[in-house]
Every structure is written in structure tokens, then in C-alpha cells.
Amino acid sequence: MMSVQTKVQNRGTGSARVEIYDWLRLVATIFVVIGHSAYLRIHTTFGGVAYALPENINAAYYSPVMQFFRYLSRWVYGFHMPLFFMLSGAVLALRPLGRFDAVVQSKIKRLIIPYFVYGWLFMLPVKYIGHFYSRESVLQAMQGLLSGQDAGHLWFLTALFWCLIIFVLIEKITIKLGCDSRYLLLMIAGLIQLTYSYIPFDVLKMKTGLSYIFWFALGFVFEKERQERGLWNIKKTILAYVILTIIEFGSKRYGILNEFFVILCGSVHTFLLADILSRIFKNITKTKGWKIVTRNLFYIYLFHDPLEYVVLRLFMGHNWLSSALGCYSYTFCRIVVIFFISLIGGELMTHIKKTAGKILAN
């Protein structure tokens, strides 16, 4: 979810534009919106929704198109959060790490402040509108946000903060001890992920962040390897994509992959898809539309999930799923409309921040 520095020095290959991570961020963000588009029931400490499909639901709800998106949502849910941690680790490896205190300050500004600002000012009020909270429970949820009890989808921000800070601290210590090995980092991260549950305290989803630190480290190691070895050619990439797709379909049918390999295969699948798209649509990255979308992917993540409850309330409250048009509009709104409303919200926030910056400067 972090902004990608678009230019890095690749050893042996000179200066190269790293657009693959922009594509990966885009595909991963679309996947997370799709992943959040199918649920009808979800509960947190102080709120939740529990919708049931109406008896007079139109047959279109069970059409192949609608079934496909629900299948896609279930598939995405199997790996999308580890993928975001891997992506964050890869982005961290794009440039040398600065001073530890500078990293902490940067991530507080980038992750912790948005957690509270968008949690209190957007997520909780919009969820209240969507009947996720009652008048009493929304006030409890506002307090719960302080401890991470009712963080909603924003748990990722604080979990990523702790994961990133602890990983950077380990990296700094290993370098100081003369053990500068990326695979040692990966091994230490794996041990932490296996033992984090024994930590007797938790602060703002710290333990949740540590439960993903191996995937974060794997993304970091992957990018270091990519800088040295480069990417596959298009034939190898497409062949690997096809083989992986067959494996995943086989696993869905016969259950041949465990949770670890479901995450690994789904994440590699997404990376290969992003790589293929980046090669096919080379010129799109030069357009204004591309720049608008990629600079607002973080905002799309921040804004999209609470809007799902507003769509649910509208469609369920007005019994719109009783018609074929209502069923197709329902899925369209939960994915496409929410994506673009969040995009517009992000663009507005960008302009508001710029305007406020100018006013403060004057």
C-alpha cells in the first residue's frame, strides 16, 4: 500500500523504471475491493451486520457472472493480506534504509496518523450510516479504535507499522553485528512469526503485525533478488502463469495445497498477472489517468470498505435484489462504483492537503 519509488539502480542492469510494483499495487487493490464485495455477515467487538438473502431473490443472483465474482472473492481472501505485506517489504527494499528514528517518524506519519484520522472521521461515521453500528455502539467503537479493538479494515495500517519497524530494527542489528544476510533476516522473521503468540501484551495490533512478518521479509528478499537477477522474459512469465493457474484450480478441486502454499501461489499468481499487464499495456503508464489512479490507491484502500455497508443497506433495505437489474447493479456497485467513489475521495483529499499546505505556508 505504500508509495513506490519509481526508479532504482539495478545491479548489472543500470537505471530501470520499476513499474511492476505500480501494477502490482493496482491489481492487489482491485483484488481487495473484490474480496470485500461478497460478505453479508461480519461482526466486530462493538458492531456488525448480519444480512440474509431475501426469499424473492431473482435467479440472476445465481448466474455464472455473479457466481464468478463470488468465487473470485473467496479466492482473493485466501492470500490478499499476506500479499500486501510482501508488497510492502518489496517496496522497502527499493532503496537503502535511513536512520531508524527517521523510519519510525515517517511510518507514524504514513500509517498511524491515517489510522486515527480516517478511522474517527470517515470509517466509523460511514459504518454508522450503513447500520454497522448503533448510536451507542459507535461511541464505544471510537474508544475501541484507540486500542485496536474495533479497527475494522484499518487494522492493516497499525499491524504494518509494527511489522515494518521491528523488521527494520532487526535489519539494523544484524548489520551492526556483521551478519548482513537477507536470508538470515528471512529466517529470523520466520521464527518470530512462529512464536509471536507467546508475547504477553499487545498494542495496536502489534501481534497481528508479527503474524505477517515472514511474508514481509519474503517480499524484501524477493526485491533484492529481483534487482540482481531481473525478471523473466514474457514467454517464461506466461508459461509460469498458466502452470500456476492449473495448480490453483486443481487445489480448489482436490485440496492439494495447504494454507502456506495457497498464500504463496496466490501471491505469485498476482505478481505474474501484474507483470504480464505491465508488458502488454506499456503506454498506459504515461497517461494522466494512470497517474491519478496509482497515486490514490492508498486512499482507495482507506475509503472502500465502509462504503460496502452503505450499499448493503440500500439494496437490502429496498429489496432491490428481487430483480435481475438489481442483482447485477448490486455487484457492480460493490466493486466498480465503490472503487471509483474511493478514487474520487482520494483525489479530493490530495487537493485539500495541497490547499491546506499552501495556506499554512502563507
d(CA 8, CA 3): 14
Q: What is the pLDDT of residues 31-44, one digit of tens each?
A: 999 999 999 999 99
Cβ atoms of 145 and 116 closer than 8 Å: yes
**Nearest-angstrom CA–CA distance, 147 and 256:** 39
* 196 assigned to some structural domain: yes
Identify whether 241 is part of a domain: no
Please indicate, yes or no, if residue 88 is contained in any of the structural domains.
yes
How much is the CA Rg of the chain, to the nearest whole Å?
Answer: 21
Alpha-carbon distance 344 to 354, whole Å? 15
Q: Per the domain annotation, does 271 fall within a domain?
A: no
Contact between residue 335 and residue 37 where contact means Cβ atoms under 8 Å apart:
yes
pLDDT at 359: 83
Is residue 28 included in any domain, yes or no?
yes
* 3-state DSSP assignment of residue 16: strand
The C-alpha angle 115, 291, 30, rounded to 5 degrees, equals: 60
Specify the DSSP class assigned to residue 278. H
Distance CA(297)–CA(283), nearest Å, equals 20
pLDDT for res 353: 85
- pLDDT classification of 196: cutoffs 50, 70, 90: very high
Residue 3 has pLDDT above 70, yes or no: no
Residue 201 CB partners (closer than 8 Å, separation 6+)? none
Q: Which residues fall within 8 angstroms of residue 337, CB to CB, at 6 or more apart?
A: 311
The Cβ of residue 237 has, within 10 Å, a number of other Cβ atoms equal to 17
Residue span of the structural domain in which 69 resides: 7-230+281-361
Decide if 143 is inside a domain.
yes
238 assigned to some structural domain: no
Residue 5 pLDDT > 90, yes or no? no
Residue 246 falls inside a structural domain = no
Instruction: Give the pLDDT confidence of 308-354 residue by residue, as tens digits.
Output: 999 999 999 999 999 999 999 999 999 999 999 999 999 999 889 88
Q: What is the mean pLDDT of residues 174-199?
A: 93
Mean pLDDT, the chain, whole residue set:
91
What proportions of the chain, in percent to the nearest 5, are helix, strand and coil?
75, 5, 20
How many domains are contained in the chain?
1
